[in-house]
């Protein structure tokens, strides 16, 4: 600490502090947006996988129903 330092901030220094706060807020919001976007994309992929599994199961149900109808005559 200098002996002759002036602890009072200039207007320019105060303004730089304000800009710094907003820059930090912007960067945090940007990071949060990217995180949320990544999570949404991940969940969309999970949904697509589940929809494919449902389709395969439904196809198997349809095949089982057809099989049952065909062998019903033999029973």
pLDDT tens-digit map of 12-27: 999 999 999 999 999 9
Element (DSSP H or E) covering residue 10: none
Q: Which is it for the CA torsion 47, 52, 57, 58, positive or negative?
A: positive
Cα(22)–Cα(8) distance, integer angstroms: 22
Helix (H, G, I), strand (E, B) or coil at 5: coil
Q: With cut-offs at 50, 70 and 90, classify the pLDDT of residue 75.
A: confident
Nearest Cα to 63, choosing from 74, 55, 75?
55
37 or 74: which leads in pLDDT:
37
Measuring CA to CA, how many Å separate 43 from each of 14, 32, 38, 57, 61? 44, 16, 9, 21, 27
Taking the whole predicted model, whether its pTM rises above 0.75 is answered as: no
């Amino acid at each position: 600490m200098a002996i002759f330092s002036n602890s009072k901030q200039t207007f320019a220094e105060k303004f730089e502090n304000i800009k710094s706060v907003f820059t930090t807020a912007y960067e945090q919001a940007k990071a949060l947006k990217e995180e949320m976007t990544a999570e949404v994309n991940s969940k969309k992929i999970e949904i697509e996988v589940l929809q494919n599994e449902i389709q395969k199961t439904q196809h198997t149900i349809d095949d089982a129903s057809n099989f049952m109808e065909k062998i019903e005559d033999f029973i």
